[in-house]
Amino acid sequence: MKVQIEKDKRRLTALRYLKKGRKLTAIAKELKCSVNTVHRWKQAYEKEGIFWEKHAGRPSKLSAENKAWLLIYMLKGPKKWGYEGKDWTARTLSDLIFRATAGKVTFHRNSIWALRRNLMKELRDGRLEKAFEKIIKDEFQEIPPKLLADLAGINKR
């Protein structure tokens, strides 16, 4: 956490210098980082404002809309999709993702629970809200009451 705070301080310092009209090279030299880094910070600020999203690690294999659909599929249960058992397993979820993306996206079953945990976190944080709104607008025209109740229950966990 301390490292992240230091990085945020550097970003904010760079933005303050940019607002004062300082050159990218001078800022980079003072903050001991590359000119490209300062330029990325500037672009992120211009695009997303002061609270830009920090993207650590590899980008997700699934789009926000794919994630929203996956949650909907998961809520309906494995039997609805032709799987045996009443609970999802890593193997069935991995297979569902493979089938739902027409074989374009694969997850090893050891990664599935991390994906599921991240899906729930994104849902709670409201990062999938726009994707759900698009799906509901395009597919359902209105929110089905059962789906709304299921989603509300997930948000409370």
In the chain, where the domains are located: 2-48, 64-156
Burial 16-28 (b: 16+ CB within 10 A, else e): ebbeeeeebeebb
Res 157 pLDDT > 50: no
For residues 103 and 98, what is the distance between their CA atoms, to the nearest angstrom?
Answer: 5
Convert the pLDDT of each residue in 96-150 to its tens digit: 888 888 888 888 878 888 888 888 887 777 777 777 777 766 665 555 566 556 6
Local confidence band at 9 (pLDDT 50, 70, 90 cut-offs): confident
Q: How many CA atoms lie within 13 A of 5 on its CB side?
A: 2
The CATH architecture assigned to 2-48 reads: Orthogonal Bundle (1.10)
Distance set, CA 35 to CA 28, 31, 52, 85 (Å)? 5, 10, 19, 55
pLDDT in tens, 73-82: 888 888 888 8
Tokens of 146: 């059962």
